[in-house]
Amino acid sequence: MSLYIETHGDGPVPLVLLHGWAMHGGVFAPLVEALAEQCTLYVVDLPGHGRSRDCGLPLDPGVIARAIAEHVPPAAWLGWSMGGLVALAAAREPAIPTRGLGMLCATPKFVCDASWPHGSDGALVRRLATDLETDYHATLERFLALEAMGSADPRAELRHLRELVFAYGEPDLRVLQEGIALLENTDWRDMLATLCLPNAWIAGRRDRLVHPDAMRWSAARAQGDFHEIAHAGHAPFLSHVDAVVDALRPLLETVG
């Protein structure tokens, strides 16, 4: 089975949307509705997720980016959370005609260390990997709670994320483990200085998974635009979709 890519809208700006760990493209419904007149949106379900659950591709950003590029025109790529690594992979691949890069609560390095104080605790990531083996559903529940934390209405956002995560069946355990390994081991900070395309970095001030300082640093390194949405957590397109659209507008106007 190939990757599932759904097309929405009829606007002049082509935009690829890439979701985060354990979710699927349906999570972007509010953003798709808000951008449908300005953009033609290519909403991807990553391998092992949603309607790409039976896709045999590994959860390798470069492999996924090249597979997507075979089915979409030259476009801007917007990645949320783990999906940002796929968007970065497209931006760093010379053969993919990426016209712009949007990073939404996403970072080139997720885990903190001595050289990266802005990352998340590596122990948290390792615990997720271990707990997936013994209590799959409880582990997803904890991660969804982390995503909702910091939102203006975390209980409502958590309920919504719970409804979404299993909408097309359970995410494949293999790719969830591959995703954890990606988050733990990927470090693409060095590529940011060589980006030669318009880029925007959109953070939620209350995000408990990707600290705004990580995105502020990344935007400066990539000579891109940085936007911080007050009162938003890790999924601002659910709680503050108008603010996300406003933050994206300069990038989309440049691409268009």
The catalytic position among 8, 49, 160, 234 is: 234
Long-range Cβ pairs for the range 94-100 (8 Å, 24+) = 95/66, 95/69, 96/65, 96/66, 96/69, 97/69, 98/74, 98/197, 99/14, 99/74, 99/75, 99/197, 99/198, 99/255, 100/76, 100/197, 100/198, 100/199, 100/200, 100/251, 100/252, 100/254, 100/255
The catalytic position among 81, 151, 218, 239 is: 81
The two structure tokens encoding residue 123: 């122990």
Cα–Cα nearest to 248, from 110, 79, 43? 79
Active site residue 81: yes
The catalytic position among 49, 52, 151, 207 is: 207
Query: What residues act catalytically?
Result: 81, 207, 234
